[in-house]
Structure formats: C-alpha cells, structure tokens
Structure 1
Amino acid sequence: MKISVIVPIYNRLEHFRALFICLLRQNRQIDELIITDDGSSQQILDYIADLIPKASFKIKHIYQEDKGFRKTRALNNGVINSEGELLVFCDQDLIFGEEYIEYMEKNIKKGCFLLCRPISVNEKEKNTILEKIESSNKYEDLLKPLPTHYLVSVNKTLRTDRKRRILNILKLSKRGIKLVGMSYAVMKSDYLKVNGYDENYNGWGEEDDDFGNRLYVAGIKGKELKTPNMQIHLWHYSDPTKKHSMNEEYYYKRKKEIFSNKEYFCKNGCSEIRNDIRITILK
C-alpha cells in the first residue's frame, strides 16, 4: 500500500524541519511527502535543502497564494495531487517516534480513520527539543525529560475517546471520536467519498469537526491509536483568529443538514477545479 503524508504549512518552517527529520527515521518509509503551503513567506528550501538528498520518498511542494487562513483548500490541494492509498495528515508542528507510520499502516482499514493524541509542550521544552532533535538518535531521548503529567493527560483523553467510540458503535451517539486535524490517517477513497474538506470554512475553526461529522454520516468511523511513543506537538503562538471563529454560524447550519439529511458530500470540496496552485517536485 502506498502511503502519502500530507503536511499543511504556513511559515514556522523550523518546526517543519523537525517533522521532516522524524520522517527520515521511520521504520516504515513513506512513499510520498506532500507539503501543501498556504502562502508562506519563508522559503521551504532554506530549511530542508540539506535533508532532501537523504529522503527515499517523493517530495512535492504545492503552493497557494496567501489570502488568509485557507487550510481546508490547502489540504484538498494536497490530496488531489497525492499518489498514496493511505493518507497520513500531520500538522507542521508535530514530531513522532520511529514507529509512527508503521502503526498507522498496521491499524488502518477502509471505512475507518485513525486519530492520535499528541502531547503539547511549552515554549521552553519546544526550544530544547529543536536544539536536540538533529543529534538525538532516538526519539525516546526527547520524550524522557518531559513531565509525566503530559502522559497522564493524554492517556485520560484516549480513554475518553474509547468510550465515545463504544457509544457510537452501540448507536447511543451520532458521532464517536471527535476528529482533530493534528495527527490522523484515513484511506484516500474515504476522504474522496465525502469530497474532502469543505472549503467554505475560511479562517480558523470548525473545519475538522465538519469533516469528521461527514465521515461518520458516510459510515467512516474513528478509532483512537496509541503508539509506543507519544507524538509531541511543538509550542507556537496561537493564531489570532482562534479568539473568535467566524465559521460557527455556518458550522451549526451544516451540522444540522449533515445529520438530518445525511448530506455527507460537501459541494465546495476536492471536486472543485483549481488553476491557481503551483506544484514543485523537490524529489
């Protein structure tokens, strides 16, 4: 099975470099990396040019003009131009152990999406990790110094996810695990079944929830995935638009339509023609 990793980026490319290093160290090497850019002013090659020759996988950089936060469109750009049957989505601020991709491949199946729950570290811990990641041969060395309460918190969340999944299986809830876009995997055929992300979501907020709702209505269920080494979400300044989501009104309107009318296929998604993106083959 071919695997494409899709990473949406917008500046903060020192974080993306750390993710790239983690991909190079995977037990199961991916087939393709899609870097889908929402209009970064930073130049991608300034951060990873020295790493590209070490990669055994294809690398594509897909660029769209900066017109504000358009992550939904960036993600769809990536999927449309991907070759893999399995899609693994990672935020650019994510790092992970050597078994990450291997566990995704072993546990995925059609009609299911897999969700991981990363540890979120503070600014000081993030700086230490970025200093050490290139010289650390083992991901575990980056995890060990972190406070144990991070692990306790993530395990608690995973237990809650499991309860939600069981309630959904028993038809006691419309939706199981809430999809969070930071770290998850889904089959490409399932992604396309719902027409991907709804590009009517502009600005931060609700886009992952909407996508998750439509997956559930389409019969694609979520499952929590715990790997031997927890993923780490690197600290960064919050997007200023997070204080207020301009998408709330649209989200609740769509939520009602999705669950009441079984409208899982969004109109403004992957199927839309796009002539304004620039694709560069880096390897």
Structure 2
Amino acid sequence: MRASVIMSTYNSPEWLEKVLWGYSVQTVSDFEIIIADDGSIPDTKKMIEAISEKTQLTLTHVWHKDEGFQKTRILNKAILATKTDYCIFTDGDCIPRRDFVEAHLLHRIQGHFLSGGHFPLSLRLSRLISKKNILSQECFDLHWLKSHGLKSTFKTVKLTKSRIMATVMNFVTTTKPSWNGGNASAWKKDILAVNGFDERMKYGGEDREFGERLINYGIRPKRVRYFAIIIHLEHDRGYVNEEAWQINNKIRQTTQNENRTKTSHGINLHVEQEIL
C-alpha cells in the first residue's frame, strides 16, 4: 500500500456508497481506505460491509459514539489507524475521478502538502448519479452533466481531461493553496509532527487551521486543483452554528499570531503518551 485515503462521514450511507464505487475503479489499487465515521447509526456499517464484499477495496471503518460534530476527533483516530506513510483526505460526499489517487501519488513531494478543490453539483444531480454513471465515469463528462441540467460556467474547466490545460490552470489560478478537507494530502510524519487536528474545533475553518500549522512547521502547499478531481454531492448542513465559528476563529487567530505548529488537543489525546 502506498497511501491511505481517509474520508469522513456521518449518516450519509447513500452518498458514501457512491463515493466508494468511485474508489473501486481507480487507475491504481495500492491504497487503503479509512472511513472516519463521526457516529453514524448502523446503516452506514451495513453498507460498508456489503460493498466490501462486492469490491477489492481495502476498507477500515473507524467509528465513535455520536456526540455532535466531532470530525476532528474521528480524523485523528483514523490517522492512527493508517498503515502507510502518506495520507489523502477527503469526505464521504466527494466522488473521485478514476485518476484521483494516482494524481495525489504522482504529485506528492517531501516538504509539501497537496491542496485540491472540488466541483459542486446540485442536489438534483447528486441524487441522479448512479453506480452505472460512476463506474463508466460519465458523471465527470461535461456533455453528460450538461444534458442533465448542469449550467455552463467558467468553473467547468475544472473537469478538463487535458493534462496540458490542467497544468496551465494550476499555474495561473489565483486561488490560494490551503488545506481543504475534501481534497488534500500530506506525509504522515508531518501530520504527526503538528499533532493532527485540533479537537476543540467544530465545523468552520478546522481544516484551514490544520493547514496553517503545517505551513508554520515549514511544510509548503502545492496546488493540484486541476489534477486531483472530485465532484461534491450536495446535502444539508445542520451542524453549522455561529458559536462554533467564533470559537474556531479565536483558535485560528492564536495559531496565526503565535506561529503555532502544534496543538495540545490533538492526536496525543488518543495514545498513552505523547508521540512527539
């Protein structure tokens, strides 16, 4: 195994199943998948067991009790469950194009983390995409998407299949490379060095704060926005609240102002003694 794909999920087995079908047709197969489950009911576990029997995927289901939005906590547990030295992070609502894992492996480099993005779909399109559309990869085809209601905008260039165009777009884009939880990757040793994700943080900037600590530690971001392609399935976001945003913003400000590289509320909470 050359990489560990860590994907977060919570009570979305229908979306997660579509995502796993996407990983079943990757151009490379030497990767494991760690599903970081933030307290889903048994439906998710049953689906994972069923798809495990239908594919050659190497799946590990890391679950903890539902105590509200605890994505950072379950991600840290998932990191400890990995068996490789490189971690690709995504979400259980992001279907990967068949070359997604290969792109992260191809562009990884010591001293860097990779920063990708996503292509958002409407709720109607998200529901419409089937296993057949994923296995055939037509859900990444602009003609197919437009024939089913996708509006044509400049952003559709993100789905380009041209390696030359992708290289040019990664070079000219003005989007700042940051840690995006749905599409980013890093060396495990660097993740451990900054002690993983800050478990005090709920939804809202928790991924960016982790990336900021990596940068403070000396790990430089590298864009793969037009190489590592995922389509994002739409869904409700009942976990968003203003109080969490305020707490997270204060933690991020401290990280930025004090140039912090390590959180004291991270992976160390899940081992008998600190790993650093």
What is the TM-score with the length of structure 2 in the denominator? Answer: 0.83
Q: 2:266: which partner in 1? A: 269
Find the aligned partners of 1:44 and 1:128 in 2 and give their Cα distance: 20
Deviations, residues 246-266 of structure 1 (Å, cap 9, x unaligned): 234433433343233322100
Relative to structure 1, the CA distance from residue 197 to residue 151 in structure 2 (aligned partners, 3 Å threshold; closer, same or farther) is farther
After superposition, residues 89-128 of structure 1 pair within 5 angstroms as 89-128=89-128
Offset of 1:116 from its aligned partner? Answer: 1.9
Q: 1:171: which partner in 2? A: none
Relative to structure 1, the CA distance from residue 256 to residue 121 in structure 2 (aligned partners, 3 Å threshold; closer, same or farther) is closer
Find the aligned partners of 2:213 and 2:134 in 1 and give their Cα distance: 41
2:5 pairs with 1:8: no
Structure 2 residue aligned with 1:134, among 117, 132, 135? 132
Q: Percent identity?
A: 24
Find the aligned partners of 2:250 and 2:228 in 1 and give their Cα distance: 39
SS in 2 for 1:163: coil
> For the Cα contact (< 8 Å) 1:100–1:227, is it kept in 2?
no
Q: Which moved more, 1:225-234 or 1:10-19?
A: 225-234
Deviations, residues 90-139 of structure 1 (Å, cap 9, x unaligned): 1100102111100100001122121222111111111111xx32365421
What is the TM-score with the length of structure 1 in the denominator? Answer: 0.81
Q: Which amino acid aligns with 1:27?
A: T
Find the aligned partners of 2:85 and 2:228 in 1 and give their Cα distance: 25
Q: 1:279: which partner in 2? A: none
> Tell me, which stretches of 5 or more residues in structure 2 are unaligned?
159-168
Q: 2:161: which partner in 1? A: none
2:248 pairs with 1:247: no
Find the aligned partners of 2:90 and 2:237 in 1 and give their Cα distance: 17
Find the aligned partners of 1:66 and 1:146 in 2 and give their Cα distance: 36
Offset of 1:155 from its aligned partner? Answer: 5.1
2:190 pairs with 1:190: yes
Find the aligned partners of 2:156 and 2:134 in 1 and give their Cα distance: 24
Find the aligned partners of 1:20 and 1:8 in 2 and give their Cα distance: 12
> Tell me, which stretches of 5 or more residues in structure 1 are unaligned?
165-175, 276-283
> For the Cα contact (< 8 Å) 1:133–1:142, is it kept in 2?
no
Q: Which amino acid aligns with 2:125?
A: E
Find the aligned partners of 2:117 and 2:4 in 1 and give their Cα distance: 20
Q: 2:166: which partner in 1? A: none
Offset of 1:4 from its aligned partner? Answer: 0.6
Deviations, residues 212-247 of structure 1 (Å, cap 9, x unaligned): 2111111112222145684210011122x32x3323
Find the aligned partners of 1:44 and 1:270 in 2 and give their Cα distance: 25
> For the Cα contact (< 8 Å) 1:162–1:224, is it kept in 2?
no
Q: Which amino acid aligns with 1:133?
A: K
SS in 1 for 2:87: strand
Offset of 1:185 from its aligned partner? Answer: 1.1
Find the aligned partners of 2:54 and 2:108 in 1 and give their Cα distance: 27
Q: Which amino acid aligns with 2:251?
A: R
Q: Which amino acid aligns with 1:14?
A: E
Q: Which amino acid aligns with 1:118?
A: H
Find the aligned partners of 2:184 and 2:36 in 1 and give their Cα distance: 16
Q: Which amino acid aligns with 2:247?
A: Y
Relative to structure 1, the CA distance from residue 261 to residue 230 in structure 2 (aligned partners, 3 Å threshold; closer, same or farther) is closer
Deviations, residues 2-27 of structure 1 (Å, cap 9, x unaligned): 21111111111111111111111011
Relative to structure 1, the CA distance from residue 257 to residue 196 in structure 2 (aligned partners, 3 Å threshold; closer, same or farther) is same
2:174 pairs with 1:163: yes
